[in-house]
Amino acid sequence: MKKNDQVLIFDTTLRDGEQAPGASMNEREKMEVAQALERMGVNIIEAGFPVISKGDFDSVHMVAKRIKNCSIAGLARSVKKDIDAAASALKPARRPRIHVFLATSKIHMEHKLRKSPEEIVRIAVDAVKYARKFTDDVEFSPEDASRSDKTFLYQVLESVIKAGARTVNIPDTVGYAVPEQYGRLIADIRSNVPNIHKAVISVHCHDDLGMAVANSLSAVKNGARQVECTVNGVGERAGNCSMEEIVMALRTRQDYFGCSAATIKTQEICRASRLVSKYTGFVVPPNKAIVGGNAFRHESGIHQDGILKEPSTYEIMRPEDVGFTGLGLVLGKHSGRHALKARLKHLGVELTEEQLVKAFERFKDLSDKKKEVFDEDLIAIVEDEVREVKDVWSLDGFEVTSGTDIEPQVEVRLKTGGKVQKKRSTGDGPIDACYRAIEAITGLKGRLLNYGIQSVTHGKDAMGEVRVRVNFNGEKVMGIGASTDIIEASVKAYLNAVNKACAQSKSMGKAKGVNLGLQL
């Protein structure tokens, strides 16, 4: 493949992705996502917006320190203070990139920035020159480029390239573009910006009209060679261009596009998708392209027959090429610990002996309750049971009385330091009542921000996986719990969040009677 046939993948899950309401991740979670991206072979990781907060600064710094095989980018507005913060956070990076942006559309210049076009060009040029003092790798984004006046856009691009920008990114900030028009914009930029050959053209599309991937592909067809995207398409509002879709579209239709994201180890895609879903709490819909649970499932008899005779009849990609492990019946009641260990290893999960013992106990319990145990069940068990934090509180048991015309009554028993503490409670629903009881026992006051439940596999005996995001005194914590009983899964998820909060704050003040405000 010629050099110009490579499309660079610039992943912004940790910056634009994390800007999605409710998607915020803590430092350790961001680090794990960065490692998954490195394993996958993305070219550039945008790790955050360092000036925004100390948390953002610290996580960019940590990613810059630990990730060796990708360029690490930090975002900055076109002001010195932002560029200083980005440069300082990126100091440990082997290949630091400062990404500066400034809006160029009439709407943004007039109403948001209140600056004339001449001032915008000057500010952009100064910012790029200033960023170049810290690194050779400077990217410039004219925010809202797709709604900017084309002639003015050409002028801005020519000026920032002259000032030293190596990459010029063309954001469709509000997801307004349509593929043909956006592709033409890229072609026009190539024809009208005299020094464009000195920079890589990048694209950054939002999905407000559901066209982020189509727009990005159209841009690639017209000469863009960097695509900015996020795992599972998470991001502001309707999200960003989805990484897995762009990568697999380029790979599957290389005959048409003539280029590909050659460095990407596509077999890592599903694993990264699961990780991002777990930490953002955004459940991947079953029909989502590439990473949805149904993406490789064939229900109709005609299709199944075709697949058995020749997979290419109905499959344009092989499930194993994206790391999709499918619904294979992997383990049964009589499978031993070695079989479990081998299967988890195949799924990319390595456990310590102690963790394996815990996971095996859960697997045995589950195989007693459930006829078939699938890969998804095993992953849920591992995520639910094998904790990175030592649990302060564990579930001893609970009882629930609930019905259409009675107020739900619960008793929850939690264990801590070898002792069991119990509490009875009522609530708007049985889950709310359980959460109130947990609050009363632990004294840890939390505000439930998100609650999501999904079935891990198919069938009446499927496990339910609950994900919650809880705000404990300003600290937002994710919790996951899985069980064949959805109330138990909900209790475990909340308790997981409580334990993480305890580990993070190491303080457990008493607070009683908090209404979680949900009718669960």
Q: What are phi and psi of 251, to 5 degrees?
A: -75, -45
The residue (of 11 and 16) whose beta carbon lies closer to Zn ion is 16
Smallest distance from Zn ion to CB 250, Å: 21
Smallest distance from ligand KIV to CB 208, Å: 11
Smallest distance from ligand KIV to CB 179, Å: 18
- Compute how many residues bind ligand KIV; rule: CB under 6 A: 9
The residue (of 230 and 260) whose beta carbon lies closer to Zn ion is 230
Site track 205-234 with ligand KIV (rule: CB under 6 A), x = hit: -x----------------------------
Q: How many CB atoms lie within 10 A of CB 333?
A: 13
Residue 143 interacting entry, from ligand KIV, Zn ion, none, C-beta within 5 to 8 Å by type: ligand KIV
Stretch that binds ligand KIV, among 168-176, 298-306, 324-332, 501-509 (CB under 6 A): 168-176
- Contacting Zn ion (CB under 5 A), which of 11, 15, 16, 465? 16
3-state secondary structure 412-432: EEEEECCEEEEEEEECCCHHH
The residue (of 93 and 170) whose beta carbon lies closer to Zn ion is 170
3-state class percentages of the chain: helix first, strand second, coil last, to nearest 5: 45, 20, 35
Stretch that binds Zn ion, among 16-24, 181-189, 313-321, 480-488 (CB under 5 A): 16-24
Residue 226 interacting entry, from ligand KIV, Zn ion, none, C-beta within 5 to 8 Å by type: none
Site track 182-201 with Zn ion (rule: CB under 5 A), x = hit: --------------------
Q: At what angle do helices 337-346 and 375-385 cross, to 10 degrees?
A: 100
Contact call for residue 207 and Zn ion (CB under 5 A): no
Q: Which amino acid is at 42?
A: V
Q: What are phi and psi of 183, to 5 degrees?
A: -60, -40
- Contacting ligand KIV (CB under 6 A), which of 171, 281, 427, 481? 171
Contact call for residue 101 and ligand KIV (CB under 6 A): yes
Residue 101 interacting entry, from Zn ion, ligand KIV, none, C-beta within 5 to 8 Å by type: ligand KIV
Smallest distance from ligand KIV to CB 217, Å: 18
CB under 8 Å to 173, separation ≥6 — which residues?
A: 143, 144, 145, 146, 147, 204, 206
Contact call for residue 141 and ligand KIV (CB under 6 A): yes
Nearest-5° angle of CA 222, CA 226, CA 228?
115
Question: Pick from 277, 333, 296: which is nearest to 452 by CA?
Answer: 277
- Contacting ligand KIV (CB under 6 A), which of 147, 204, 436, 476? 204
- Integer Cα distance of 28 and 473 in angstroms: 19
Smallest distance from ligand KIV to CB 139, Å: 9
Question: Pick from 247, 190, 194: which is nearest to 216 by CA?
Answer: 247
Residue 233 interacting entry, from ligand KIV, Zn ion, none, C-beta within 5 to 8 Å by type: none
Nearest-5° angle of CA 38, CA 74, CA 41?
15
- Integer Cα distance of 412 and 437 in angstroms: 6
Contact call for residue 10 and ligand KIV (CB under 6 A): no
| Contact predicate 108/143, CB 8 Å | yes
Contact call for residue 383 and Zn ion (CB under 5 A): no
Smallest distance from ligand KIV to CB 141, Å: 4
The residue (of 14 and 433) whose beta carbon lies closer to ligand KIV is 14
What DSSP string runs through 117-172? HHHHHHHHHHHHHHHHTT-S-EEEEEETGGGS-HHHHHHHHHHHHHHT-SEEEEEE
Query: Bridge partners of 142?
Result: 102
Q: How many CB atoms lie within 10 A of CB 404?
A: 4
The residue (of 12 and 260) whose beta carbon lies closer to Zn ion is 12
Alpha-helix residue ranges (DSSP H) falling in 333-448:
337-346, 353-369, 375-385, 430-442
Stretch that binds ligand KIV, among 169-177, 342-350, 391-399, 495-503 (CB under 6 A): 169-177
Q: Any idea what DSSP says for residue 192?
A: H
Stretch that binds Zn ion, among 13-21, 148-156, 372-380, 420-428 (CB under 5 A): 13-21
Contact call for residue 143 and ligand KIV (CB under 6 A): yes
Question: Pick from 166, 165, 164, 155: which is nearest to 194 by CA?
Answer: 155
Stretch that binds ligand KIV, among 165-173, 276-284, 353-361, 451-459 (CB under 6 A): 165-173
- Integer Cα distance of 268 and 270 in angstroms: 6
Residue 147 interacting entry, from ligand KIV, Zn ion, none, C-beta within 5 to 8 Å by type: none
Q: Which residues bind Zn ion (CB under 5 A)?
A: 16
Q: Which residues bind ligand KIV (CB under 6 A)?
A: 16, 101, 141, 143, 169, 171, 173, 204, 206
